[in-house]
Structure 1
């Protein structure tokens, strides 16, 4: 068994990979891990992207780790989980815990917290043939098949645990249990939790790609559903007759970083401002050019600032202009006077402040370095939140301007 270890956005040395393993690898990681050909047809290179985690195919294990370290990845991944849900000592941050193990620990604790007092129930409409009439008799079906009137078809609303929220959590648990290298303590925890979902229909990850809308009825499930959605997005398991299983469990750092920035800013800006994730707008008056900005800071019902969170900026200034062109177009169409680009890493860091010719939009580019202590990260987020507040609500009193001006040269 060969093991290849990469960091995000890096390339491996050439190594031999058989045709079967190469085909399985292509199937599992398309768009998440690049398999590059070399001059030797029997060897390949692997190029990692923003997806980190682990991939197992017959004869090969690939591990992709974040540049900033696992501790800060788990800090980002836990965005939105109630305080105290999971401590460092329980996940083992200090000991360099495996990414999949850490994600599994977060997910199990979140599911346990939201289902400890019982599963969410809801009404599902069912239509089936019964021995007694329940709900509404489906007269149209009786007319078509009168010989089946001994078991009349009925439509009724059933109060049940077999609702989309529970199906999604059960699916996430089952995918974790299929991971071959899951530690025994986590496997026992997942098995014990799976018992709670008796009566919930089994599903597959593709059934939950759209997620579950959060309402007042299921808001206590929100953290667990968010973590389950992120985990299911990166899970791929394939099986062919007569072959070993191949597994992939990958997490998109770009998605995690954006969610984390949104959650941290929301906690710091509420109730004066609200951070909306991917709201629907249109660039034209007739709504024929839809657009969904990454993040929009709202002042009541009015957009005040558009924000883009990027885990890594790749390339020089020409690449940056392509990166921010959509952001500036969104800012001009909303319209808002300020567009904010928050990034964790950049090959060529952009200028902290630019004025866009023609529209007058102010573009602020702020680094949020992840290779720092939790206290330093929190302090930097405080500064960015203060700048957002000033841009959206107006200048601060004289005594508070020093902290805000520390983020960019001029407010």
Structure 2
């Protein structure tokens, strides 16, 4: 019988549960939860700041995001952060039930659409040693590797094959998903059926970076499956037989997910305006002095800075934090933004929080700096999420434009 433990990301206490010692150790090693001994064979399971799910044998542990972000929304955030071409329909229909069952079913559905016309083929550049001439002879490599030898020949050619990046990624995701314990027989059979359609496609080495591919007219029908496959390969792990139990985990850090999503979304939204948006912008809080080494200065890494004509114009910082019961956010965030504005000579800072609510402006005493708290509700639809970011970019640019106009009037 499947035992299910569901926790909230911000949960600080839970009732002890009975677990085998081996299961408790495996669960702890995934990093999703802390597993603390209670008494006897009972353990206290608490979230550690990440979200996702872990399945160890018959135990399923899920940690839900604080804003009740469903699986489809989480997959959208992950996908869009990696590729702004990621579309909401790429994860449409993913049910917010058992995470692994939903991922398996969704991968099957997208895989069937991708392979319904057969596996995709394409040209791959190959360099290898052959006993016959094919393509062109790599004379330099032949002389270096086989001086004085006629055979084998170092040749290079373009081969039309199914062993292309798109098929390697899809097959790797299918095979990883097949290792997840307790998937239904129907889903497992369909995963195996799709894998058989990719006969002749080489396996990706464990830990190797995913091969690069580009969206085109030829692979358009593959794209939704590929984007879901990449999310699975980057965030999930599975062991078919670790000890006496099978283990699968899908663990993500929502702070990183939110910051990565905002970086990509803001870059896209601000692209319509002059200037350049840079993530993790490097700056210094203190003034450079001849006697002070660069390593001794107070270094700052600003989440996003949009510069116009090479001068910082807009400052943004993304915070995946919970507000207090009164709706206030930590004071330290405002101190940080004041430091950014002072060092970069920017008048307005935008604090982007993950959560519902309306924007709020705080004017800093005895300064020209204002800090705008700008919440973004992650439970919104992908279209509304991107529209909210677009609205932020418009507000930030207009605020800067008015500020520059007023400065020009004062100067004249």
> So what's the TM-score if we normalise by structure 1?
0.69
Distance 1:91-1:120 versus aligned 2 partners, 3 A rule? same
Matched, 1:99 2:99: yes
* Cα contact 1:234–1:249 (8 A) shared by 2: yes
What SS does the corresponding residue of 2:259 show, helix, strand or coil?
helix
Tell me the residue number matched to 1:156: 156
What SS does the corresponding residue of 2:55 show, helix, strand or coil?
strand
* Cα contact 1:141–1:153 (8 A) shared by 2: no
5 Å matches for 1:31-70? 32-38=32-38, 40=39, 42-67=41-66, 68-70=68-70
TM-superposed deviation, 1:62: 0.9
Matched, 1:366 2:368: no
What SS does the corresponding residue of 1:97 show, helix, strand or coil?
coil
5 Å matches for 1:1-400? 1-10=2-11, 11-27=13-29, 29-30=30-31, 32-38=32-38, 40=39, 42-67=41-66, 68-70=68-70, 72-73=73-74, 76=77, 79=80, 80-82=85-87, 84-85=89-90, 87=92, 90-92=93-95, 96-104=96-104, 119=120, 121=122, 123-124=124-125, 126=127, 128-134=128-134, 135-137=137-139, 138-143=142-147, 149=149, 151-152=151-152, 154-159=154-159, 162=163, 166-183=167-184, 187=188, 190-191=191-192, 193-195=194-196, 197-204=198-205, 206-208=207-209, 227-238=228-239, 243-262=244-263, 264-265=265-266, 268-272=269-273, 278=279, 281=282, 283=284, 293-297=302-306, 304-313=313-322, 320=330, 336-345=346-355, 352-354=360-362, 361-371=369-379, 380-381=388-389, 383-394=391-402
What SS does the corresponding residue of 1:206 show, helix, strand or coil?
coil
| Structure label with greater radius of gyration | 2
CA distance in 2, matches of 1:182, 1:275: 46
Distance 1:150-1:188 versus aligned 2 partners, 3 A rule? same
TM-superposed deviation, 1:309: 2.6
Task: Report the count of equivalent residues.
Answer: 380
* Cα contact 1:306–1:340 (8 A) shared by 2: yes
CA distance in 2, matches of 1:85, 1:180: 25
CA distance in 1, matches of 2:282, 2:309: 16
What SS does the corresponding residue of 1:34 show, helix, strand or coil?
strand
Moved more, 112-121 or 77-86: 112-121
TM-superposed deviation, 1:193: 4.5
> So what's the TM-score if we normalise by structure 2?
0.69
CA distance in 1, matches of 2:380, 2:242: 48
What SS does the corresponding residue of 2:208 show, helix, strand or coil?
helix
* Cα contact 1:297–1:304 (8 A) shared by 2: yes
Q: In the TM superposition, what whole-angstrom CA distance separates every residue of 1:293-343 from its partner, at most 9, and x where no partner exists?
A: 544446587654232333334889999455677766666666654332211
CA distance in 1, matches of 2:24, 2:301: 36
* Cα contact 2:180–2:247 (8 A) shared by 1: no
Gaps of at least 5 residues in structure 2 are 406-412
Distance 1:390-1:156 versus aligned 2 partners, 3 A rule? same
* Cα contact 1:266–1:274 (8 A) shared by 2: no
* Cα contact 1:167–1:200 (8 A) shared by 2: yes
CA distance in 1, matches of 2:307, 2:113: 31
Distance 1:373-1:222 versus aligned 2 partners, 3 A rule? closer
